[in-house]
Amino acid sequence: MMALSLLPAFEWLQHTYLGETIRHSAALIALLEIVHLIGLALLLGTILMVDLSLLGFGIGRQPVHRIASELNSWTKAGLAIMLISGPLILSSEAVKCYKTPAFWVKMALLAIAIAFYFTIHRRVTLAEQPASRSSQTFVAIASLALWIGVALAGKGIAIFQPV
């Protein structure tokens, strides 16, 4: 299995100066989790607005592409905040994460969600010509399911014990 070969990398990460420093400071871990949550709020809040617009619950008569293009940079800001704070939190408990299935579920969902966001989601939401009703609905539901899945799996890392 490919995943097995990653254990040394996770062990190395945890034993770096950065990982050790964060692990031994409850204040730093708490701070990083706060930043991570704020990033998530920004990401999910903006994605929710765009996906609700796709589902027909838009803001007044604003076209989807206008809402999407105005929120685009905030979604990316939220994602950037999470992608910086996330690996730092990971470095403090890398081996535990390696042994927790919820972590791998989260990484898989995250990879799919990011790929989906930067390809299909963007194409459908930013197009000035709206896509068909059914593809808009599909894209919105898939997007919401993926991102909420990422959040739930993230919570799962803290809840489920490593195996």
Partner 1 sequence: MFLLSICQWVDSTRLNAFLRQSNWAFPTLDTVHTLGIVLVAGTIMLVDLRLLGLGLRSVPIAQLVARIVPATWWGFGFMLASGGLLFSSEAVKMYHSPAFRIKVVLLALAGLNALIFHRTIYRDAAAWDPASVAPFRARLAGLLSLVFWIAIIAAGRAIAYAPGYDLG
Q: What is the binding site for partner 1 (CB under 8 A)? A: 26-27, 29-30, 33-34, 37-38, 40-46, 48-49, 52, 57-60, 62, 66-67, 70-71, 73-74, 148, 151-152, 155, 159
Distance from C-alpha of 63 to C-alpha of 47, rounded to nearest angstrom: 15
Decide whether 43 or 88 has the Cβ nearer to partner 1. Answer: 43
Which pair of tokens denotes residue 108? Answer: 């898989």
CA-only gyration radius of the chain, Å = 18
Which pair of tokens denotes residue 161? Answer: 């014990």
Decide whether 11 or 70 has the Cβ nearer to partner 1. Answer: 70
Distance from C-alpha of 150 to C-alpha of 156, rounded to nearest angstrom: 10
Q: Cβ distance 135 to 162 under 8 Å?
A: no
Decide whether 10 or 140 has the Cβ nearer to partner 1. Answer: 140
Decide whether 58 or 130 has the Cβ nearer to partner 1. Answer: 58
> Where do we find the tokens 């607005």?
49
Question: What is the smallest separation between the CB atom of 74 and partner 1, expressed in angstroms?
Answer: 6
Question: What is the smallest separation between the CB atom of 113 and partner 1, expressed in angstroms?
Answer: 15
